[in-house]
């Protein structure tokens, strides 16, 4: 059986071929638009204090109608090239979470990959990882709610902008509970009650105490660059962090036709746990590989219809 390092190199090679075949245009657009962090001032002690301050500055928020909301229509592309996080991250990690992150770094250096990643079990990317997962995003805005949708795992974040408080009778969930308000064309979001997870594969973990404040805004493209939606986010985690951590990401508007479909992870995932408990991938040609599905619901026709 191939070593994990050899397997990782094969996986990377396959991914590079797929990306190259998919489009060179989007890659060219993404690379120069890495988002830089705008650190909020002043420094807030909690997500609640941060949210209340922004709402006070917005005088309670803008009351939009269906016709006055910003236009975020279309499909938006995100990914590693558009986020501020870089290895090694500058997060103010607590000692325990610093040790966890350093262990992941060791595994990547010595094994070529992290020992384990929970997406192997078809678990959601969850919050805050949702922000930077490199999959298509789509947004549906209404006066009382904003739906932030991700192709991967069919994850939809519902942001309630009608003034209601947090409500989590079911406890912590993968995407948490999100409330917010509009400040002109900027959407301010406060997310809480998440599950313990991570920021991205190989990146630091977060605890279930994490809360996030996000400010979203569509930015007009200049000098031939496409429009993008930029999110500035501040993470508050009294267990995983010793202070607020500011990150940023942007989503480039795709210039190609695409429709988000239902994601059936169980039928298409080639990520598995190996016998030693590590995350690995089944490659094309290996036993158990699941080829992409291309089912049709109508019989084949020998000749085009008249």
What average pLDDT does the chain have?
84
CB atoms within 10 A of CB 144: 11
- In this model, does residue 25 exceed pLDDT 60? no
3-state class of 10 per DSSP? helix
pLDDT of amino acid 22: 38
pLDDT, greater one: 123 or 46: 46
Distance CA 144, CA 30 (A): 32
CB 158 within 8 A of CB 180: no
Dihedral angle computed from the Cα positions of residues 51, 242, 88 and 229, in that order, rounded to the nearest 10 degrees: 0
The pLDDT value recorded for residue 29 is 40
Average pLDDT (110-127) is: 85
pLDDT band per the 50, 70, 90 thresholds, residue 84: confident
Residue pair 110/98 in contact by the 8 Å Cβ criterion: no
User: Contact at 8 Å (CB) between 125 and 150?
Assistant: yes
Strand partners, 194: 173
Instruction: Classify residue 200 by its DSSP letter.
Output: S
Nearest residue to 229 via CA among 2, 41, 35: 35
Give the burial class of 48: count Cβ atoms within 10 A of its Cβ; 0-12 exposed, 13-18 middle, 19 or more buried: middle
In 3D, which of 107, 103, 74 has the Cα closest to residue 259? 74
DSSP string, 212-235: EEEEEEEE---TTPPPEEEEEEEE
Higher pLDDT, 295 or 119: 119
Query: Which band of pLDDT confidence, cut at 50, 70 and 90, is reported for residue 230?
Result: very high
Q: How is domain 4-281 classified at the architecture level of CATH?
A: Beta Barrel (2.40)
Q: Name the residue with higher pLDDT: 97 or 39.
A: 97
Q: Is the pLDDT of residue 93 over 90?
A: yes
Per-residue pLDDT at 55 exceeds 60: yes
Each residue's pLDDT tens digit, 240-253 = 999 999 999 999 98
Q: Is the pLDDT of residue 290 over 60?
A: yes
Confidence (pLDDT) at 287: 85
pTM score of the predicted model: 0.81
Question: What is the structure's pLDDT at 100?
Answer: 96
User: What are the residue boundaries of the structural domains of the chain, listed by start?
Assistant: 4-281
Q: Is the pLDDT of residue 296 over 50?
A: no
The number of helices, as runs of H, and strands, as runs of E, in the chain is 5, 13
């Amino acid at each position: 059986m191939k070593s994990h390092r050899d397997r990782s190199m094969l996986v990377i090679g396959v991914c590079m071929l797929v990306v190259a075949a998919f489009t060179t245009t989007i890659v060219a657009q993404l690379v120069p638009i890495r988002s830089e962090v705008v650190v909020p001032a002043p420094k807030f002690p909690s997500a609640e204090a941060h949210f209340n301050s922004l709402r006070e500055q917005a005088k309670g928020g803008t009351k939009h109608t269906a016709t006055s909301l910003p236009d975020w229509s279309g499909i938006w592309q995100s990914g590693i090239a558009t986020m501020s996080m870089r290895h090694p991250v500058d997060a103010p990690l607590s000692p325990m979470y610093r040790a966890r992150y350093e262990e992941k770094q060791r595994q990547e250096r010595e094994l070529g990959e992290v020992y384990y990643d929970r997406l192997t079990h078809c678990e959601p990317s969850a919050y805050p990882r949702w922000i930077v997962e490199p999959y298509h995003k789509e947004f549906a805005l209404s006066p009382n709610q904003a739906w932030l949708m991700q192709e991967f795992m069919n994850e939809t974040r519902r942001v309630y902008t009608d003034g209601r408080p947090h409500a989590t009778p079911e406890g912590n969930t993968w995407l948490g509970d999100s409330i917010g308000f509009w400040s002109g064309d900027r959407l301010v979001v406060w997310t809480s009650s998440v599950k313990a997870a991570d920021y991205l594969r190989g990146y630091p973990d977060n605890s279930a105490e994490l809360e996030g404040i996000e400010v979203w805004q569509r930015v007009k493209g200049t000098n031939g660059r496409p429009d993008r939606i930029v999110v500035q986010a501040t993470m508050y985690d009294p267990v995983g962090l010793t202070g607020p951590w500011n990150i940023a990401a942007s989503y480039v508007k795709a210039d190609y036709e695409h429709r988000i479909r239902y994601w059936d992870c169980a039928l298409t995932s080639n990520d598995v746990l190996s016998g030693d408990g590590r995350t690995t991938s089944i490659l094309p040609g290996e036993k158990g590989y699941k080829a992409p599905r291309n089912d049709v619901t109508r019989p084949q026709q020998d000749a085009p219809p008249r």
